[in-house]
Amino acid sequence: MDILFNADDFGLTKGVTDGIIKAHKEGVVGATTIMMNGKATKYAVEKARHYPTLNVGLHLVLTWGKPLSKNVQGLINPQGHFKLKNTYLEMEPPHLDDVRKEWTAQIEAFLATGLPLHHIDSHHHIHGWGPLKEIVIELARKYNTPVRYVDSLKNERDLLLTDTLWKDFYGENVSSDIFQQLKALQVPSVEVMTHPAFIDSDLKEVSSYLEKREEELSILCNLEVPKWANIL
């Protein structure tokens, strides 16, 4: 089984970025996805350049921070921040032209770094929201890049990064027996979503998911890889 341990939120803060780098250098994390509007995006780009074995993709954002684009009024609140939250499923879908414009800007900002684009996924899995499906497909084809598995794209097999996504290495389900859980899936390939980090003051300001990130980091750096697992 091919297993890709992918770390979300690269560039969100320096502590998150450093945690991901450690999980790559000393552990099983083979890929990460960067937030182009993070508090430490430039820092993350420089770190990525020093570790070319870490595959870097793009963590598309619509639910945190500020957009990169101007004139996307349908996406922002009066303070200029994205108005969508992690409860977006209960909210009115945004104007699709605004989403296309902003996500194109995020992709172009990534490409301007010179880093190879490994894949795209999204903060809070918003790329799996039904109303945005066609934009995700359009951008994936335009930029010739694979996309993290979500149910809404399960029939677009040629676009998917892996056959399925394991989301349960999170919160109370963070566990060192991850390989036994994955073996039961019986699929050719799986991506494991992870969030390793060192907790810093910036992270405390922007996220409620804190101590578990350091627990994830410890586990990811100390896993024993079974012979049947091919770590990507």
Q: Report the predicted TM-score, pTM, of the whole model to 2 decimal places.
A: 0.96
Tell me how far apart the alpha carbons of residues 229 and 55 are, in angstroms, rounded to a whole number: 19
Average predicted confidence (pLDDT) for the chain: 97
Backbone angles phi, psi at 220, to 5 degrees: -65, -25
Q: Quick one: pLDDT at residue 53?
A: 98
Tell me how far apart the alpha carbons of residues 10 and 15 are, in angstroms, rounded to a whole number: 10
Rounded to an integer, the average pLDDT of 23-41 is 98
Tell me how far apart the alpha carbons of residues 74 and 84 are, in angstroms, rounded to a whole number: 10
The pLDDT-based confidence of 146 (bands split at 50, 70, 90) is: very high
Structural domains of the chain in order of their starting residue, each with its CATH number:
2-59+100-231 (3.20.20.370)
Dihedral sign (CA 68, 57, 146, 125): negative
Q: Is-contact 9 167, C-beta < 8 A?
A: no
Tokens for 137, please give them.
């497909």
pLDDT in tens, 59-118: 999 999 999 999 999 999 999 999 999 999 999 999 999 999 999 999 999 999 999 999
Q: Name the percent of the chain lying above pLDDT 90.
A: 100
The pLDDT-based confidence of 20 (bands split at 50, 70, 90) is: very high
